[in-house]
């Protein structure tokens, strides 16, 4: 979307992702990896397999030690996914805190243009009018890219409608993920990192709103 940013060419056999670090394509080498991108001020590799892959952080640091690591935090109760703390620690054993950018996933969903503008600023990119390039799709239920006056959304697998979650299931999932949310909250406080709303809310909800140490009250930041 941003004219100074490019992502990789689609790789059909891996869901359009490179899945290079820690994946089956790593043996092809850095030259193969580099050729998957077009020249730009910032090149962006989004592969869902990197974050929790035990080899990805070491392999990435060996080849691109100055890379910025962008992590989007979502409520694991909604995503049925957790263990953020363990995986963040693995990446921060190699990359400095200044290379880590945390994004509140719920805020990204609700106000993507603002969050993307902040991300662009953190990456040293020129100003860009994201508001005129993003439009809410009522049929999808989320914001989509606007290209040549046409709305371009993600595939059919994204934005699917699910039945409402029962209060009983919601409570059960919150209990399941409480240890992970608590650990993540403590980790972010200790590192003086951004705290997504979902982390503080989840911990407060399951501790009967008892006072807790707060993360910084910003929703996206690069640690200084």
Contact yes or no for 6/12 (Cβ under 8 A): no
Contact yes or no for 84/91 (Cβ under 8 A): no
**Helices 84-92 & 167-190 angle (0-180, nearest 10):** 20
Which segments are annotated as binding site for 3'-phosphoadenylyl sulfate? 82, 158-162
CB atoms within 10 A of CB 70: 17
Estimate to the nearest angstrom the gap between the alpha carbon of 78 and the chain centroid. Answer: 15
Which segments are annotated as binding site? 82, 158-162
Compute the distance between CA of residue 116 and CA of residue 130 in angstroms, rounded to an integer: 7
Task: Tell me the H-state helices in the chain.
Answer: 29-34, 56-63, 76-79, 84-92, 105-110, 112-122, 167-190, 197-206
Compute the distance between CA of residue 195 and CA of residue 218 in angstroms, rounded to an integer: 7
Contact yes or no for 95/67 (Cβ under 8 A): yes
Compute the distance between CA of residue 169 and CA of residue 7 in angstroms, rounded to an integer: 38
Contact yes or no for 189/195 (Cβ under 8 A): yes
């Amino acid at each position: 979307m941003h004219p100074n940013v490019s992502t990789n060419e689609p790789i059909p056999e891996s869901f359009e992702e490179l899945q290079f670090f820690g994946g089956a394509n790593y043996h092809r080498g850095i030259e193969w990896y580099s050729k998957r991108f077009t020249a730009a001020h910032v090149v962006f590799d989004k592969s869902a397999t990197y974050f929790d892959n035990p080899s990805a952080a070491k392999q990435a640091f060996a080849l691109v030690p100055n890379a910025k690591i962008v992590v989007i935090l979502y409520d694991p109760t909604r995503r049925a996914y957790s263990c953020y703390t363990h995986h963040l620690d693995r990446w921060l054993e190699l990359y400095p805190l200044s290379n880590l950018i945390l994004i509140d996933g719920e805020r990204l969903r609700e106000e993507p243009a603002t969050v993307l503008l902040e991300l662009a600023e953190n990456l040293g990119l020129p100003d860009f009018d994201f508001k005129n390039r993003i439009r809410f799709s009522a049929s999808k239920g989320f914001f989509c890219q606007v290209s040549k006056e046409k709305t371009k959304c993600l595939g059919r697998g994204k934005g699917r409608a699910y039945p409402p979650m029962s209060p009983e299931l919601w409570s059960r999932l919150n209990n399941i993920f409480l240890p992970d949310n608590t650990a993540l909250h403590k980790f972010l406080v200790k590192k003086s990192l951004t705290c997504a709303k979902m982390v503080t809310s989840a911990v407060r909800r399951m501790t009967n709103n008892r006072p807790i140490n707060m993360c910084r009250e910003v929703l996206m930041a690069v640690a200084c």
